[in-house]
């Protein structure tokens, strides 16, 4: 007996991996969150907010897109920085499509130029160039800025977007889906990230440290979940340690009479509750771990390297 052809929708189903790369702070994680429609990656105005490769999964009837959010590519100064840039670069070998995200409100700089060249030499996947933050672009500069970005790399297409406002994000999504290979889903339809709950909770705590403290702290901080218990249904008890590199930083994170740590804890608790969908108790400790960013062992223990 001859089988009928599968309905159009099954034949056309697409699935694939899309790397989002660019220098630090251009809005890569903001864009991934926007396109996935959920906050799966932490965002802050500080560079090096994203330290690990994080996958954000968007499942639609016609396609499943796995966005691969990456640490910003720049010239690294420390072991952690090297690990991050290497991870971001290696992603390029393994994806179906690359989104090269730039700060489209400004002229490109050396980092953008280097990444453009890297893409030309390293990836065979098509590149979509997206000029982000165009909500901040002054009308007088549109032509010069656009031209300069346009020349950064070989690309299959380009567009101006705003990840925070959502401008052109649907158009970008359409372009992405169009270029994905045909294939079945890689993940269950209800899964939105590859991170487990504990990893996500640690990130949400670190995000609050980044948002609440000033310049010096962000690069020095790491968060480890020490214990995770569920004493009863709909209640999780979490103990976490915030690691810093020096005593002075410990003082800053704790704050006067513990005010800073209290604020970090309150905000992080609300974020984690929203994520797990029930009440949590959060206990935070601050400890000094000298030079953790320079040591292979600490990077491994903190889950920042394989
Ligand atoms: N004005 C504006 N700010 C943006 C836009 N996209 C991201 N940002 C901001 O840029 C900063 C860095 O964003 P983030 O997503 O962490 O950048 P990443 O380091 O590339 O992942 C944050 O303060 C974002 O709110 C945008 O389209 N317009
Ligand atoms: Mg990021």
- Give pLDDT tens digits for 94-139: 999 999 999 999 999 999 999 999 999 999 999 999 999 999 999 9
162 Cβ closer than 6 Å to some ligand 1 atom = yes
150-198 residue pLDDT tens: 999 999 999 999 999 999 999 999 999 999 999 999 999 999 999 999 9
Burial per residue of 64-97, b for 16 or more beta-carbon CB atoms within 10 angstroms, e otherwise? bbbbbbbbbbbeeeebbbebbbebbbebbeebbb
Q: Are 100 and 116 in contact (CB under 8 A)?
A: yes
Structure confidence at residue 47 as a pLDDT band (50, 70, 90): confident
Cα(211) to centroid(ligand 1), Å: 13
Number of domain units in the chain: 2
Instruction: Compute the distance between CA of residue 118 and CA of residue 67 in angstroms, rounded to an integer.
Output: 20
Q: What pLDDT shows up at residue 2? A: 53
Give domain status of residue 2, yes or no: no
From the CA of 23, which ligand is nearest? Answer: 1
Same domain, yes or no: 206 and 142: no
Q: Is 111 in the pocket of ligand 1 (CB under 6 A)?
A: no
pLDDT value at residue 306: 62
Nearest atom in ligand 1 to 43's CA:
16
Could you tell me if 77 and 147 lie in one domain? yes
Tell whether 207 and 240 lie within a shared domain: yes
Residue 288 domain flag: yes
* 228-240 tens-digit pLDDT: 999 999 999 999 9
CA–CA distance, 300 with 179 (Å, rounded to integer)? 36
Ligand 1 atom nearest residue 101's Cα: 20
Distance 195 CA to ligand 2 centre (A): 15
Give the pLDDT score at 76. Answer: 84
Q: What is the mean pLDDT of the chain?
A: 93
- Asked whether residue 228 falls in the same domain as residue 138, the answer is no
Q: Compute the distance between CA of residue 131 and CA of residue 214 in angstroms, rounded to an integer.
A: 28
Say how many Å lie between the CA of residue 1 and the centre of ligand 2: 54
Q: How far is the CA of 45 from the centre of ligand 1 (A)?
A: 7
Check residue 219 and give its pLDDT: 80
Looking at the domain assignment, is residue 232 inside a domain?
yes
pLDDT of residue 214: 81
What's the CATH code of the domain at 53? Answer: 3.40.50.300
Residue 211: nearest ligand to its CA? 1
- 50/161 same-domain check: yes
pTM flag (> 0.85): yes
Q: Cβ(72) to ligand 1 under 6 A?
A: yes
Q: Check whether residue 127 and residue 202 sit in a common domain.
A: no
Residue 114: per-residue pLDDT:
94
Half-sphere exposure (Cβ direction) of 36: Cα atoms closer than 13 Å: 26
Range of the domain at 155: 8-179
| CB of 50 shorter than 6 A to ligand 1 | yes
CA-CA distance, 8 to 158, in Å (whole number)?
Answer: 29
Residue 290 belongs to a domain with what CATH number?
Answer: 3.30.300.20
Same domain, 82 and 170: yes
133 and 222 share one domain: no
- 245 C-beta neighbours (distance < 10 Å), count: 20
Structure tokens given for 189: 């339809």
pLDDT of residue 10: 54
Q: Give the residue whose CA is nearest to atom 22 of ligand 1.
A: 45
How much of the chain is in helix, strand and coil states, percent to nearest 5?
40, 25, 35
Q: What does the alpha-carbon distance between residue 50 and residue 68 come to, in Å, rounded to a whole number?
A: 12
User: Do both 219 and 159 map to the same domain?
Assistant: no
Whether pLDDT at 48 is above 90? no
Residue 139 sits in the same domain as residue 174: yes
The answer to whether residues 123 and 93 touch, using CB atoms and an 8 Å cutoff, is yes
Do 175 and 71 lie in one domain? The reply is yes
Find the 31 Cα to ligand 2 centroid distance in Å: 9
Q: Is residue 94 part of a domain?
A: yes
């Amino acid at each position: 007996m001859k089988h009928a052809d599968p309905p159009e929708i099954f034949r056309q189903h697409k699935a694939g991996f899309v790397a989002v790369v660019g220098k630090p702070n251009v809005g890569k994680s903001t864009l991934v969150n926007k396109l996935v429609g959920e906050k799966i990656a932490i965002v802050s105005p500080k560079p090096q907010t994203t330290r690990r490769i994080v996958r954000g999964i968007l499942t639609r009837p016609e396609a499943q897109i796995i966005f691969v959010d990456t640490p910003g590519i720049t010239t690294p100064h420390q072991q952690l920085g090297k690990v991050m840039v290497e991870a971001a670069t290696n992603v390029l070998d393994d994806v179906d499509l690359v989104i090269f995200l730039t700060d489209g409100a400004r002229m490109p700089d050396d980092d953008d130029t280097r990444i453009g060249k890297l893409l030309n030499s390293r990836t065979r996947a098509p590149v979509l160039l997206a000029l982000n933050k165009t909500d901040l672009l002054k009308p007088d500069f549109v032509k010069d800025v656009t031209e300069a970005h346009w020349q950064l790399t070989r690309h299959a297409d380009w567009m101006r977007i705003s990840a925070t406002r959502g401008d052109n994000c649907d158009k970008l999504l359409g372009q992405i889906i169009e270029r994905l290979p045909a294939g079945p889903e890689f993940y269950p339809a209800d899964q939105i990230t590859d991170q487990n709950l504990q990893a996500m909770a640690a990130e949400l705590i670190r995000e609050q440290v980044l948002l609440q403290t000033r310049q010096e702290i962000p690069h020095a901080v790491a968060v480890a979940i020490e214990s995770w218990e569920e004493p009863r249904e709909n209640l999780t008890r979490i103990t976490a340690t915030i690691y810093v590199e020096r005593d002075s930083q410990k003082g800053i994170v704790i704050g006067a009479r513990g005010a800073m740590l209290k604020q970090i804890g309150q905000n992080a608790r609300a974020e984690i509750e929203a994520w797990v969908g029930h009440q949590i108790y959060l206990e935070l400790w601050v400890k000094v771990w000298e030079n953790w960013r320079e040591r292979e062992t600490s990077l491994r223990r903190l889950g920042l390297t394989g």
